Structure formats: structure tokens, C-alpha cells
Amino acid sequence: MRQIVIIGGVAGGMSAATRLRRLDPKASIIVLEKSSYVSYANCGLPYHIGGVISRKQDLLLQTAESLNLRFKLDVRVLSEVVGIDRNAKTVRVADIKEGTEYTLAYDQLILSPGAQPVVPPIPGIERALTLRTVEDVSRIVDAVDDGPKSAVVIGGGFIGIETAENLRHRGIETSLVEALDQVLSPLDAEMAVLVANELRRNRVELHLGQAVAAINKDSVELSRGDIVPAELVILAIGVRPDTRLAKMAGLEVGPHGGISTNSYNQTSDPEIYAIGDAAEKVDAVDGTTSLVPLANIANRQGRIVADHIMGRETRWVPAIGTAIVKVFDLTVATTGWNEKRLRAAGRDYLPIHAHPSSHAGYYPGAKSMAIKVLVDPNTHLILGAQAVGRKGVDKRIDVIATAMRAGLRAQDLADLELAYAPPFGSAKDPINMLGYIAENLTSGFSKSVQWDELDSYLERGVALVDVRTEEEYSRGHIPDSINIPVDELRDRLSELPDEEIVIYCQVGIRGHTAASLLRGHGYDVANLDGGFQTWINSPAASTVAFVV
């Protein structure tokens, strides 16, 4: 009888185990998990801190007993694998509860050890709590129940922000420290500002561009000398693949520090597979490897491995990296690459910004979104997207991620037939509008200028024209711009200079109309992408006095 040993449970390991059982009712399937919990909702842990998920039991999806009852899986918790003998095809297991060790044979071995929190060598770091497992969240909840007045979260990524939000739900004065100059590094700067504003609106104090120098008894000292009150300190600066067993076994490790695998998730030893956060993934944009610690990818890899072990045909799928996070009343989502990564890789790209409503504006409750799409100017394929808003963000990012998987060009978004009724969308859905914008730009009909390019245009004497109403202009405008409302533009052409012109409006739509009109009259004109709304949220606006 075939014996398959799986090291690590949760998303990847349990997905592989249950799929294996469905494919082979007789195989011996043994799952070894060093913690007390083998199947739980890892992504729900921060919400237990805030009491949004009130019972810890609701996070526990399956137990060793329930998995044995339903699937006849041999699940052994508190069992840590401390060595792999590839020649003998055995693993050495430490029974943590009994304090003993034993050897276990395998025909195939699946590594799903996950990732470990990054813990830097900061003085006093032993006082910081990490959030990765059920045991971790229990320790944090106990600490929160002790009634601390202040907390510092170190790290402005997904987990750090979710943790900060839930600490505020518990009434704790919370500060968030991030060494980068923005929160949520997958976002570009002008999108991350929206998230930072939402955090500040909900009284999360941000310390950006600073590292933690030391953790004291009841405070945290920052690299610039600031002292931040901190009765509770939570560390959330990221994770690294847990490759200790793989390295001990002599398995190949990839350039990003994860376990190297092929398209079937086989390691350099074909009888050993690696899945989940510990394994490097092939990136869908450029075909190189990357680390994408997401639960849905781990689940998919578990299924692929089970199918391959059982001789079934498998589908190789590269990783796009689609992620979403709730930030108080905001939804923030990303897929693919951001502009920073494209620029660092030397890739050409065309950015597109839009600020559509979540549904038809005449139906009550419509909310504005900010969406950014990055397009390959040569192939017109979508390289990545980001979206921030209070409603409708999730379904738009999912459509874009699906379009990327299908290999659609950006202009093909205009042709998608999406569900429409006033409470849910618009006749021209935001996705369709992105397609129209892309079509105009890639065909050469329109020309755009980005917020971070505007200064260079102005420095060489390009005229800047604000085509919003006088009232909008009076409330705030970009310096050195002249105001000619779009509805008056046709009759005031004589007021325009003969040189190159950059047009802007609030979100880009009126700007497109104005630019088309001027182009028809022979002007060399470009539209500020995303309009004043994108510019005002960008770093460019933070250094000037733009309000009259």
C-alpha cells in the first residue's frame, strides 16, 4: 500500500491530503503538524483579536479527529519532523507531547511547512508578539484582555494593517511603524496615500519611513529618536519561507529563498514535493520565480500535487498574486505587478488611472473608487492592477485578474458583458471604462501625462489648463494652471497659448473631452491621467500649496 507523508497542514497540506483521499480510498496518508491545530482559517486570525470573530472555535475548520472520521487521514498534531533521509525515504519525527522520536517511511513526501515570521535583532524584541498561528492569536488575545492602553504594530503590510484595525476595535490607542515611506508595499505611492488617510481617520498613528531601534518596557524607540507608547507590541514585518528541512535534506533552494519546484511542484528530488508559502512560484508576468504567500495558491498547489502523485493530468498555472484587504471602511486589492516593480525590472508600461463610482451615480449609495491598471504598451496585455474604495473593489479586481489569466488585452475589457442594474453597476461598468481608456491610449487617439511627469512638462513651459468649473477650481487646483471650463472651451480658444498643452479635470473624463476638442483644432494636447483626484493623492501634491 502506498504511503504518503505530508509535513504541515493548514491550506496546502490539508488540500493535498483530502484530494489524495478522494482519489485513492486505500492509500496511507499521514499528516504531521508540529502545532496543536492542523486546519484553521489563518487569514481570520486578526479578526479574532478585534472580536469581529468572537469565538476561537469558529477559526478551526477541522480537527485531527474530524479528519480521521471523514477521510480516514492519520493526522498527528504536536509532531515535528526533525530530519529527512532521502536515500532511505524516511522522516524522523519528534513527538512533542511524549518527548520521544520515531522514524516513518514514505513513498512520496509533501513539504508544506509554511513560512516563519521575520524577527529582526532589535533590542527588546523578545517582548514583541507575532501573529501566524492559533497559538499566536491566543497569546495576543490574552494580552489584549489584560487591558493595555497603547499598542505598536511593527509593519505596514496586510497583517500589520489588519491587526492595527482590530486593536482599534478593542479601543486601544494604536501606532503603526513602517520602515518604508508608505503602507502596503504592493500599492504604488498615489494609491497607498488613500489607505494611510483611512488609517489616520480611524486614529491609527502612522510612523512611516522609520525603523524600530529598540523595544522598551512600555514604549518603542524609533530610528529618528521618537518614543511611542507601547504596552503591547506586535511584530508583523513579513514572513520568510520555512526551508530548514529542505536545506537539511539537500533540496535545491531558489533565488528568493524558497524551495525550488517544477510545474508539478516536485523538488530536486522527484519523490518530494513542496507547496504553499515555503515553495517558490513561477510569476505570470515574466516567468521568473517569486514568493507569493497566499492561501488560494497553496490550496491549488495541494490539489496539483495530489493529482500528479495519483497519475492524473495536471494544469500548470503561474501565479498572478491577487490579494485583498479590509482597512476599516476601505477595500484595498491588487493583482499582478505594481509600477515600482515594473520600473525596477526595466519593463515598459502604460499606467491608467480611473475614479469610477461603484454603481450608477443616480442610485443611492454609490461610492467612488480609485483604480490603477498597468498595461504593456507593445502587447497591450495587463501587467497589474490596484484598486481602493468603499464598495465594488473586490469584483473589479477579480475581473481584471481573470482577464490577466485569460490573456485578454487591456482594450478587451471594453468588450466584457458584465451584469448591470443601477444598484450594482453602470451601463458602462468601471471595467469597461478602463478598456475604453486603454483603447484610446494604445491606438494613439489620446495621449496622457502621469502625475509624476507633470513637473517636467511644466518646467519646459507646457501650459496647464484646468477644465473644471470655476467653483471646483476655487476649492483647489494645481499651481500654475489656468481655468477654462470645458463647456466654455470652444468659445475661448483664443485664450490658449500655441505651445503644447496639458489638460486636467477632476478624474479625467472631462479632460478627455477637452483634449479631443483641442486636438481637432490642431493643438498638441495631453490629458493628465486620473485628473486632479489622482494628483491630489500623490506625493507631488504633498509638497505644494494647492488650495486657494
Query: What is the 8-class DSSP label of residue 78?
Result: S
Helix (H, G, I), strand (E, B) or coil at 442: helix
Residues with Cβ < 8 Å from 175, sequence gap 6 or more? 150, 151, 152, 153, 204, 205, 206, 207, 220, 228, 229, 230
All three cell numbers of 368, joined, read: 467612488
Long-range contacts (CB closer than 8 Å, 24 or more residues apart) made by 390-393: 390/329, 390/330, 390/331, 390/358, 391/331, 391/358, 391/359, 391/365, 391/366, 391/367, 392/358, 392/359, 392/367, 392/425, 392/430, 393/324, 393/331, 393/332, 393/333, 393/358, 393/369
* Cα–Cα dist 147/142, whole Å: 9
Q: Which of 342, 332, 408 is nearest to 371 (CA)?
A: 332
CA distances from 237 to 82, 205, 374 (A): 27, 17, 27
Known catalytic residue at 43 = yes
Residues with Cβ < 8 Å from 125, sequence gap 6 or more? 119, 215, 235
Candidates 43, 61, 77, 509; catalytic one: 43
What letters, b where the CB count within 10 A reaches 16 and e where it falls short, cover 493-529? eeebeeeebbbbbbbbbbbbbbbebbbeeebebbbbb
The owner of cell 483641442 is 518
The owner of cell 492542523 is 38
Residue 150 near residue 232, CB atoms below 8 Å: yes
CA distances from 272 to 74, 87, 216, 292, 318 (A): 19, 12, 45, 20, 20
All three cell numbers of 321, joined, read: 498574486
* Cα–Cα dist 210/237, whole Å: 13
* Cα–Cα dist 521/513, whole Å: 13
* Cα–Cα dist 343/453, whole Å: 14
Query: What is the 8-class DSSP label of residue 334?
Result: E
- Which pairing describes strands 501-504 and 525-528: parallel, antiparallel, or unpaired? parallel
Helix (H, G, I), strand (E, B) or coil at 288: coil
* Cα–Cα dist 451/114, whole Å: 40
Residue 283 near residue 318, CB atoms below 8 Å: yes
All three cell numbers of 519, joined, read: 486636438
* Cα–Cα dist 262/318, whole Å: 11
Q: Rounded to the nearest 5 degrees, what angle is found at the Cα of 453, between the Cα atoms of 198 and 394?
A: 35
All three cell numbers of 234, joined, read: 506586535
Q: Residue 478: count other Cβ atoms within 10 Å of its Cβ.
A: 22
| Active centre residues (catalytic) | 43
